[in-house]
Structure 1
Amino acid sequence: MTDNRLNGVIRAWEQGKPAFAAFSKVDKLTAQEMTDAPYDGIVFEMEHNPYDVGGLGDALQYMLNRKMIAESGSVAPSVTPLARIPANGAEMNQFQAKQVLDRGVYGVITPHVSTVEQAWNAVASCRYAKPKGAALYEPKGIRGDGPATAARYWGLSQPDYYAKADVWPLAPHGELLVGMMCESPEAIDNLDDILSDVPGIGLVLIGEGDLSQALGYPRQYEHPEVLDAMRRIVETCHKHKVAVGNPHTNAKNVERLLGEGYKFLMSAPSRSYGVVGQGRELAGY
């Protein structure tokens, strides 16, 4: 599937490369600028910014570049759009994942996922229902059926969209990435069970800010206890061969993060182009 892969983040991983990304505001101008940025993906930030689905739909349209599509001969986006939704894992939310997917994003990141049940819900919310007994039935999909806008945005027929709009790596052909944020001691304690029992989690993004708060060292990202907690997350992800991400990548820590096996590196847009170039050079491509 690598040659036909639409999701650039998954494509990078399948090629043995780390993926580089940044958070993005949900507005047209930023989205248009991000399309020309050197990222594999961007994450529209809707947890701490307003949850604006209409604005997200507009932003996604501004990411379309007809010239790039014509030159590449592929409907795969030059930069893959994902969304971080507002609802915490404990809220067991479903409609926000459904709505951002229906606009056309290629993945959903859920903050504050701490238990197996919460992770299961995050994956199920991104999957369409299948007949019982069908292959890859679990987690049972609960995403409502409304594919028209997403299929049009992806440049696919609705049947082709249905075929590709499943969760990777549970479905190897799937183009949707389900990410969970691990940002509390409880989440760390439960992470081994989560990754053992919930097929379909493709990314664990460490929430350093909230994790450092919970440990009593707010935003002290280099504090030994914070670093040790992050080390535990990384080791658990490596054990289960699940990509681990860092949202505060910069020129000072990118080499260490790559050396520790981080596969999803996010940096602030204002200074990220240099970090992406540095990271790709360190990664050997």
Structure 2
Amino acid sequence: MSQPRLKQRLSQSNQCFGVFSSISDAVAIEQLALAGYDFIIFDLEHTLHSLKDVEIALLAARAAELDVLVRIPQGRYDLIAPLLDAGASGIVCAMVETPEQAQLLVERCYYAPLGMRGLNSTRLNSYATKDLAKSMIEANKQTVVVAMIETQLGVENALQIASTLGVDAVLEGAADLSQSLGVAWQTQHPSVRAAVTQIAQACEHAQSRFMAIPRTTEAVAQWQQSGVTNFVLGDDRSIMRNAHKAHIAQFKKELEQ
């Protein structure tokens, strides 16, 4: 029996582990799939990737049966349709601050009746070789919509954002949140931790899923005790750098003995 798709796994509170992907290379995507991640978030906010880079990543992930969410910059709703048409499993929208922004995100990600995503012959419906109406229904059942809260205003509106029909999950952004709260890069500052906890509590109240970005294994354990089951475990560039550092350090240590 095949594993449920990401949207169903999120709704069933199954444990999911993801990672930010900032390297636009098919082999890099394959390695993330082989490592065992449940999903990746391909980043368009802090990279210079072209849409052609994204398409290559999506095709590589499709071959590896890996779910791909694409993070778009704040307000770039125009990117949503082509990304989903190309095969993205869903969208992560940066800097969602108001329920109106959350609603606009939903409208761009879903077909009617939940949204007004544009109709076309795309990879999604095998270029019109599948029943188009059925393809719309299936897309609405599978598309994952994630709002990222990274500012004080977003925290204040967290309950309304998480309650927006069509938002599957809310992802915390402690780094940018720390800047918004006046303690830049102090992601463990009490005010930042309190704000992230407030987001998580808003999700619980709204019966939406919360995605944490733990920076230690201890943090994962603490979140699990609170019932959180969805985690984004850093960025592939940092993970690769740290792996190389540990690799060469091991050999240097052996040679020094």
Q: Do both proteins adopt the same fold according to a TM-score greater than 0.5, normalized to the shorter chain?
A: yes
Structural mapping, 1:91-130, within 5 Å: 91=75, 93-128=76-111, 130=112
TM-score scaled by length of structure 2: 0.83
Residue 203 of structure 1 deviates from its aligned partner by 0.8
Q: Percent identity?
A: 26
User: Where in structure 2 are the equivalents of 1:255-270 lying within 5 Å?
Assistant: 255-268=221-234, 269=236
Alignment coverage as a number of residue pairs: 235
Residue from 33, 36, 58 that aligns with 2:56: 58
* Secondary structure in structure 2 of the residue aligned to 1:232: helix
1:164 to 138, 141, 146: 138
1:142 maps to amino acid? M
Cα deviation code 1:86-143 (max 9, x no counterpart): 2x1xx3x432111110110111000001111100000000112x3xxxxxx34xx232
Name the CA shift for 1:236/1:14 in 2 (closer, same or farther; >3 Å): closer
Displacement after TM superposition at 1:234 (Å): 0.9
CA RMSD of aligned residues (A): 2.3
The structure with more helix, counted as a fraction of residues: 2
Cα deviations across residues 173-214 of structure 1 (Å, max 9, x unaligned)?
x10110001111111111222334x20111100011110111
| Greater RCO (Cα-Cα under 8 Å, separation 6 or more) | 2
Once the two structures are superposed, residues 122-167 of structure 1 have per-residue CA deviations (whole angstroms, 9 ceiling, x without a partner) of 0000112x3xxxxxx34xx2322224223339xx83534322111x
Aligned to 1:189: 156
5 Å-filtered alignment, 1:1-285, equals: 7=5, 9-25=6-22, 26-65=24-63, 77=65, 79-86=66-73, 88=74, 91=75, 93-128=76-111, 130=112, 137-138=113-114, 141-152=115-126, 157-159=130-132, 160-166=134-140, 174-196=141-163, 198-268=164-234, 269=236, 271=239
Unaligned runs of 5+ in 1: 69-76, 131-136, 167-173, 273-285
Of 115-124 and 244-253, more deviation after overlay is shown by 244-253
Contact 1:114 1:190 in 2 (8 A): yes
Counterpart AA for 2:130: S
Larger radius of gyration: 2
What 5-or-longer segments of structure 2 have no aligned partner?
241-257
Distance between the aligned counterparts of 1:144 and 1:263, measured in 2? 33
